[in-house]
C-alpha cells in the first residue's frame, strides 16, 4: 500500500488532521451517493402498499413490515405460478456455476498461451478474441437462436451454459492474460529445460500462482451471468427459466397493479448471491488484483 503517512510526520500535525478529516468527508459524501438507491429500495420494501400509495416515495417507513419479503420469496406471481423467486433460484445456479467455471478455465489456458508463449501473431489472436467483449447481445440473439435450434439445444440449460461460455471467453482471456504477463518468462524457460510440457507447466506452476486472478474472474463472470436477462429469457422455456426472468415477471407488469414493495424486496433477494460473493470475496478481490493481475 502506498505509504505516505510514514513520511509526513515531520509536517505540522494540524494540517494532517484537517486533511484526514477532509479525506473522510469526501469518502462519506461518495458513500452517500452509492447508498442512496439502496436506501430507497430497502425502505420501500419495508412499507405496506397503502403507505406507498399515500406517502412519499423516498421517506422512512411508518410501520415496518416484512410481508413484502416473504411474498417475494415464496408467493409473488411470476405468471400463473405464484411461488415467488424460490423455484427459479436453482435454475440460475445450475446454469451459472458451470458457465463460470468453464469460461474461467478456458480463459486461463488462453491467457497463459498468449502471455507466456510468445509466437508470431499472439497479440493479434488475443485482440481478435478480445473483440468479442464488445458485441451487444441483441445482435447475436437471433442467429444464436437459429443455431441452438439446429443443434437441438434450444430451451435447455446446457444451451444457455454454452452461450454464456462463448461470450465470456473474451473477458476471462483478458483478465488472465494481463495477470500472466507480469510473471517473468524465466519460469517457463527453466521448466522447459527441465523437460516439462505446455500443460505440465500450466498445471503445476501457473495454476497454483493464479488463485487471486481466478477469484477475480469468477466474481466478474458470476455477476454478468447471474444478472443476465436477455439470453435467459430467449433461450429458456418453461421450467428452465433463470431467476432474472422471474424477477422481471414480478417487477414488470404493464397493466396490472404494481406492488413496489414486493418488487424491491425481490430485486434484493435476486441479487443476494452476487452481493454475498462480493462481500465475502472482496478481500480476495483486492488481493487478487494486487498480485499484478491487471498490470500489463
Partner 1 sequence: MKSKFLFAASAALTLSFAGIAKAEPQAEVLHWWTSGGEAKSVAVLQQEFASRGGTWTDMPVAGGGGDAAMTALRARVLSGNAPTAVQLKGPAIQEWYEEGALSDISSVAEKNGWADVLPASIAGHMKCEGKWCAAPVNVHRIDWIWANASVLADNGIAMPTSWDEFNAAADKLMAKGITPLAHGGQAWQDATVFEAVALGIGGPEFFHKAFVELDQATLKSDTMVKVFDQMRKLRGYVDSNFSGRDWNLATAMVMNGEAAFQIMGDWAKGEFLAAGKRPGIDFLCASTPGEGFLYNVDSFAMFDVKGDDKQAGQMLLAELIVGQNFQKVFNMNKGSIPARVDVALDDFDTCAHISAQDMATSNAGGSLLPSYAHGMALRGAQSGAITDVVTAHFNSDMSSSEAVNMLAKSIANSL
Partner 2 sequence: MITWFEKHMPKIVLAPSFLIAVIFVYGFIGWTAWVSLTRSRLLPRYDLHGFIQYERLFDSARWDTALNNLYIFGFLFIVISTLLGLILAILLDQKIRTEGVIRTIYLYPMALSLIVTGTAWKWILNPGLGLEATVRGFGWTDFSFDWLVNPDKAIYTVVIASVWQASGFVMALFLAGLRSIDQEVIKAAQIDGIPTWRIYTSIIIPSMASIFLSAFIVLAHLAIKSFDLVIALTGGGPGFATDLPATYMYTMAFSRGDLGQAASSAMVMMMIIFAIVVPYLYSELRAKHD
Contacts to partner 1 by CB under 8 A: 53-54, 77-82, 141-142, 144-146, 148-150, 154-155, 230, 233-235, 237-239, 241, 245, 248-259
φ and ψ at residue 182, rounded to 5 degrees: -85, -10
The least CB distance from residue 61 to partner 2, in Å, is 15
DSSP 8-state code for residue 119: -
The least CB distance from residue 160 to partner 1, in Å, is 12
φ and ψ at residue 85, rounded to 5 degrees: -85, -15
- DSSP H helices in 181-242: 186-193, 198-201, 207-209, 211-227, 230-234
Q: Under a CB-based contact definition with an 8 Å cutoff, are residues 247 and 85 in contact?
A: yes
Residue 123's binding partner among partner 1, partner 2, none (Cβ under 5 to 8 angstroms by kind) is partner 2
CA distances from 207 to 176, 201, 202, 214, 293 (A): 11, 9, 6, 9, 13
Q: Does 58 bind partner 2 (CB under 8 A)?
A: yes
Q: Does 296 bind partner 2 (CB under 8 A)?
A: yes
CA distances from 217 to 48, 161, 164, 207, 235 (A): 40, 17, 14, 14, 24
From the centroid of its chain, how far is CA 241?
Answer: 19
Q: Does 101 bind partner 2 (CB under 8 A)?
A: no
The least CB distance from residue 143 to partner 1, in Å, is 8
3-state helix, strand, coil in the chain (%, to 5): 75, 0, 25
Binding to partner 2 (CB under 8 A) within 190-209 occurs at 197-199
For residues 167 and 235, which CB has a smaller minimum distance to partner 1 in the complex?
235
Q: Does 57 bind partner 2 (CB under 8 A)?
A: yes
Rounded-to-integer distance, Cα 156 and Cα 14, Å: 65
Which class for 197: exposed (0-12), middle (13-18), buried (19 or more C-beta within 10 A)? exposed
For residues 156 and 248, which CB has a smaller minimum distance to partner 2 in the complex?
248
Q: Does 135 bind partner 2 (CB under 8 A)?
A: yes
Site string for partner 2, 222-241 (x = CB under 8 A): -x---x-x------------
Residue 233's binding partner among partner 1, partner 2, none (Cβ under 5 to 8 angstroms by kind) is partner 1
Residue 155's binding partner among partner 1, partner 2, none (Cβ under 5 to 8 angstroms by kind) is partner 1
Residue 130's binding partner among partner 1, partner 2, none (Cβ under 5 to 8 angstroms by kind) is partner 2
Kindly tell me which residue out of 236, 240, 241, 244 binds partner 2, with binding defined by CB under 8 A.
244
Q: Does 253 bind partner 2 (CB under 8 A)?
A: no
Amino acid at each position: 500500500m502506498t505509504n505516505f503517512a510514514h513520511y509526513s510526520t515531520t509536517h505540522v500535525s494540524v494540517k494532517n488532521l484537517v486533511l484526514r478529516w477532509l479525506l473522510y468527508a469526501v469518502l462519506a459524501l461518495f458513500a452517500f451517493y452509492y447508498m442512496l438507491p439502496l436506501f430507497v429500495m430497502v425502505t420501500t420494501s419495508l412499507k405496506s402498499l397503502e403507505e406507498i400509495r399515500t406517502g412519499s416515495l423516498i421517506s422512512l417507513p411508518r410501520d415496518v413490515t416484512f410481508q413484502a419479503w416473504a411474498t417475494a420469496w415464496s408467493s409473488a406471481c411470476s405468471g400463473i405460478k405464484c411461488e415467488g423467486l424460490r423455484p427459479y433460484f436453482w435454475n440460475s445456479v445450475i446454469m451459472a456455476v458451470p458457465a463460470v467455471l468453464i469460461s474461467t478455465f478456458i480463459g486461463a489456458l488462453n491467457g497463459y498461451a498468449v502471455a507466456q508463449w510468445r509466437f508470431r501473431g499472439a497479440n493479434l489472436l488475443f485482440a481478435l478474441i478480445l473483440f468479442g467483449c464488445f458485441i451487444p447481445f441483441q445482435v447475436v440473439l437471433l442467429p444464436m437462436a437459429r443455431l441452438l435450434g439446429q443443434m437441438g439445444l434450444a430451451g435447455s440449460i446446457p444451451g444457455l451454459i454454452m452461450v454464456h461460455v462463448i461470450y465470456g471467453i473474451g473477458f476471462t482471456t483478458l483478465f488472465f492474460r494481463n495477470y500472466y504477463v507480469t510473471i517473468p518468462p524465466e519460469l517457463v524457460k527453466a521448466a522447459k529445460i527441465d523437460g516439462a510440457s505446455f500443460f505440465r507447466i500450466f498445471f503445476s506452476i501457473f495454476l497454483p500462482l493464479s488463485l487471486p486472478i481466478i477469484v477475480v474472474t469468477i466474481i466478474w463472470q458470476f455477476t454478468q451471468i447471474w444478472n443476465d436477462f436477455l439470453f435467459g429469457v430467449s433461450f429458456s422455456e418453461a421450467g428452465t427459466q433463470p431467476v432474472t426472468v422471474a424477477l422481471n415477471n414480478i417487477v414488470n407488469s404493464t397493466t396490472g397493479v404494481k406492488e413496489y414493495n414486493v418488487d424491491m424486496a425481490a430485486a434484493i433477494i435476486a441479487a443476494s448471491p452476487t452481493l454475498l460473493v462480493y462481500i465475502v470475496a472482496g478481500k480476495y478481490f483486492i488481493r487478487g488484483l494486487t498480485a499484478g493481475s491487471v498490470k500489463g
